[in-house]
Amino acid sequence: MDRAETWQAPEYIDPAAFTERETTVGSGQFVVPGTVTLPCGEGPFPAAVLLGGGGPFDRDGTAGPNKNLKDIAWGLAGRGVAVLRFDKVTHAHPESVAATVGFTPTDEYVPHATAAIEHLRGLSNVDAGRVFVIGHSMGGRFAPRVAVAAGPAVAGLVVLAGDTVPLQWSLVRVVEHLGRVDPATAAALPSAETVTAQAELVDGEDLSPTTPADRLPFGMPAPYWLDLRAYDPAAVAATLDLPMFFLQGERDYQVTVAADLAGWRAALADRPQVTIRTYPADDHMFFPGAGISLPADYVRPHHVDVQVVDDIADWITTR
């Protein structure tokens, strides 16, 4: 049996408090399926578009037996916040994406996110002036760019473990970290020397649209890295006059308090509309635990920390 089928709703979910219906997001060859989760009652409710992390994730954020995005969507809907989540285009249309020359992470996130925002704003039981963007990991990194694209349609941002360190150097940090704490996992990854050379190529003057993908991190093509290199999420966030809520697990080794959260703090220091909270027990997926977080933890059943769900719901409903 697929281990993803073992997912069970967390204890903090009340299935009677919300309803769900299927929808689509986007248009043309890249239209993707999605799910609208609505609190019971007349509304109008505040609402949020939920953006997954880097990689071809489905709308639930399925990873082994875990579905962190579904935990969040159901948890928020039971607390009075409508949520639209959708399969990433890289999950729904991997072949078409791979065949699209010049496809970038902006293409991966922004068109569907802005379409989802407008979808929510068009629902009769959603408060069109209170639609937020919630992004996890790379989805959090791109939340400021989504806000720029959507303009006044966005009421605020919630960033869960959003990275500010350039992705190529985050990869170097992760490989070096796992080499110290989890050598068995590290042995299956490219060496630290290899990923360092790839990161230096991404940073270098020789990177061009024709640089071979096999010389670059994750085997992603050069236009992808050129787009990432040109985008500073913390600097873009600093241009936004929006309330923003940053959440970070202290056990997270992929996106860290010391490096990535520090980037948000430095760019948004003394901004009265910015709230930052850290969660000592939580890892990158906001699963609570103890000790050093390891990749093997992600294949054991977990649920998103109820305190994280409560804090997001409270923050959104009081804006």
Q: Which residues are catalytic?
A: 137, 252, 284
* CB 97 within 8 Å of CB 89: yes
* CB 142 within 8 Å of CB 106: yes
CA dist 242 and 107 (Å) reads: 23
DSSP state of 60: T
CA dist 24 and 118 (Å) reads: 12
Give the closest residue to 309 by CA, choosing from 4, 5, 110, 17: 17
Separation of CA 277 from chain center: 17
Bridge partners for 25 per DSSP: 32
230-235-241 Cα angle (round to 5): 130
CA dist 169 and 192 (Å) reads: 11
Q: Which helix (H) or strand (E) holds 314?
A: helix 306-317
* CB 249 within 8 Å of CB 256: no
Q: Which residue is associated with the tokens 């920390």?
A: 305
With helix as H, strand as E and coil as C, how does 278-290 read? EECCECCCCCECC
DSSP 108-127: HHHHHHHHHHHHHHTSTTEE
